[in-house]
Structures are given as C-alpha cells and as structure tokens.
Amino acid sequence: MAVTIKSEREIELMRESCKILAEVHLKLGEAIKPGISTWEIDHLGENLIRSYGCVPNFLNYNGYPASICVSVNDEVVHGIPSKERILMEGDIVSLDAGLIYKGYHSDAARTYPVGRVSAQAAKLIEVTKQSFFEGIKYARAGCHLHDISNAIDAYCSQYGYGIVRDLVGHGIGTHLHEEPQIPNFRQWRKGIRLRPGMTLAIEPMINMGSCYVEWLDDDWTVVTEDGSLSAHYENTVLITEGDPEILTLLPDQTLI
Ligand code: MF3
Ligand code: CO
C-alpha cells in the first residue's frame, strides 16, 4: 500500500481520533503510581477508550492480547499487561496506546517515572521525548523522511544511548500501520519527500545501553539485550503547508 494523503475530511477524523487518545493518555498518566498492576493500567485504558465510543486498535492486532502495551524498565515495547506485574517506586514505565474513531487510527506512547526515579532514568525519559521534538523539526513539506531519522539519531547519540533499529515509526490512517516506515536512526537514503496531508506516527525507542533488543518467549515483549532501561515517546503527526500538527497532544501540551 502506498503512502496516503488524507483529505480535509479525513484529517478532521484523524484530529478527533488523536485528541481522544491524548485525553486517554492524560488520564493513564495520572494513574501511574507504585502499587498499580500493569493489568489495571490496561483495564483502565480499555474502559477509557470505550467510554468515548472508540475501539482499542492494539487489542487482537496480530494476536496481541491487550489494549495498552505496558513496558517496564528494560522492556522496550509491547509488554503484555499482567495482574502479577506491580509497578514499584523507581521503575520507569512506557505506555503505548491507540484507538479507532470512525475508522481512523491514532497511536501514541509516553514513558513515565514511577514515584522517584534515578537521575539517569529521568534523563533517558527526557532525552527520548526531546528527540521526538528534534525529529519533527523536519516533519515539513519538502523535507525527506531521513531528515527526521537523522535528527533523532544525532540528538540521542550525543548521550551515548542505543537507538533501537529493529522497530520503527510508521504512516497511520485507516490502518494502524501504513507506509512509510520511519526509522529513528541514521539513514543514508533520503526516503520519500514529505507532503501536506501525510499522517505519521513518529516514535523513538531509546535504550540507555546497547541498541540491541530481544523478544521474550511470549513473542511480544521486546527487551534490551543488555538489561539496560529503555524509553519510548510517540505521537501521531500531520504534515501541513507549515508547522507540523502534533495530533496526539492537547493544545496546552504542545507549548514546549
Ligand atoms: N504503537 C505500536 C506500533 O506503533 C503498536 C502496538 S503493536 C500491537 O506499532 F500489536 F500491540 F498493537
Ligand atoms: Co506506533
């Protein structure tokens, strides 16, 4: 399937889908505290999504068994929620969530500290988030895909972090995953030229140590090979004639 350009009507539906997801994330973030299980986070997330009349798009996607991916510490992405997994003070937790509104998908992820965390963990979370904002400086009509990848890589590499290569961002719209793939690491090929109406899920996954990852026996949970911490930050973004629109942030969250 080729890269899709959304019509004005489709863009409106994407905006609404993403705004609902931003609200879901806000409420999930407020629920993060020591003692909560990753199952409770998923349960809350699924109920929130359905309370807006939307459908969780991760649930049953290629057999994924939950609505929210909850990944703790060295888990990079796609952690499976469990009643036995209780968040503890000092953990970091990545929440990846998505939903479908009137046929249009949204996708976003944030990493949170659980209570007080080490200065190094807090730094990893902050740099990962900032790398997204470095990347979207190039999420503009006329730029090429590799401008985004290269900006994320250049920013994270300064800190000696490992940039995950086995998983990438993606186009999004009537499907959760559309073309193009959006790597977070240095690309020598330019990739496609960005055009207004493209909607992209840009999602750096950054490890404190090695860039290498492994899959657990559940065939979902991705962990760092060296056991180091990992952070994830993702938003669905609209390419416009001017500045990119970060669709999965609420208006007061974009002022950074
Ligand atoms: N945000 C993830 C992505 O972009 C989606 C989760 S994969 C799923 O690929 F299987 F859990 F849906
Ligand atoms: Co995604």
How far is residue 99's CA from residue 138's CA, in Å, rounded to a whole number?
26
Does the beta carbon of 232 sit less than 6 angstroms from any atom of ligand 1?
no
Report pTM. 0.97
**Which ligand 1 atom is the nearest neighbour of the CA of 169?**
4
The pLDDT value given to residue 176: 98
CA of 203 to the centre of ligand 2 (A): 6
According to DSSP, residue 63 is labeled G
Report how many domains make up the chain. 1
Copy the structure tokens of residue 252.
């007061």
Copy the structure tokens of residue 188.
């020598």
> Which residue has the least CA distance to atom 12 on ligand 1?
58
Taking only the tens place, the pLDDT of each residue in 155-186 is 999 999 999 999 999 999 999 999 999 999 99
Q: What is the CATH number of the domain that holds 19?
A: 3.90.230.10
In a domain, 254, yes or no: no
The pLDDT value given to residue 1: 73
> Which residue has the least CA distance to atom 8 on ligand 1?
58
- Confidence tier at 255 by pLDDT (50, 70, 90): low
How far is residue 180's CA from residue 126's CA, in Å, rounded to a whole number?
26
pLDDT mean over 7-24? 98
The pLDDT value given to residue 192: 97
Taking only the tens place, the pLDDT of each residue in 137-151 is 999 999 999 999 999
Mutate to test the pocket of ligand 1, among 17, 38, 42, 61 (most ligand atoms within 8 A of CB): 61
Decide: 170 and 178 in contact? Cβ < 8 Å.
yes
pLDDT mean over 42-70? 98
**Cross-strand partners of 170:** 181, 201
How far is residue 156's CA from residue 61's CA, in Å, rounded to a whole number?
30
H helices present in the chain, as ranges: 8-31, 38-51, 119-135, 145-157
Taking only the tens place, the pLDDT of each residue in 112-139 is 999 999 999 999 999 999 999 999 999 9
In a domain, 94, yes or no: yes
**Which ligand 1 atom is the nearest neighbour of the CA of 66?**
11
CA of 135 to the centre of ligand 1 (A): 20
**Which ligand 1 atom is the nearest neighbour of the CA of 98?**
1
The pLDDT value given to residue 184: 98
**Cross-strand partners of 202:** 235
What rounded mean pLDDT belongs to the chain? 97
The pLDDT value given to residue 209: 98
In a domain, 253, yes or no: no
In a domain, 100, yes or no: yes
In a domain, 2, yes or no: no
- Confidence tier at 190 by pLDDT (50, 70, 90): very high
> Which residue has the least CA distance to atom 7 on ligand 1?
58
**Which ligand 1 atom is the nearest neighbour of the CA of 59?**
12
Where in the sequence is the domain holding 28, given as residue range(s)? Answer: 8-246
In a domain, 30, yes or no: yes
Does the beta carbon of 78 sit less than 6 angstroms from any atom of ligand 1?
yes
- Which residues, 6 or more positions from 190, have their beta carbon under 8 angstroms from its beta carbon? 144, 145, 146
Is the pLDDT assigned to residue 256 strictly greater than 60?
no
How far is residue 102's CA from residue 153's CA, in Å, rounded to a whole number?
35
In a domain, 65, yes or no: yes
Rg (CA), the chain: 17
Taking only the tens place, the pLDDT of each residue in 22-49 is 999 999 999 999 999 999 999 999 999 9
In a domain, 180, yes or no: yes
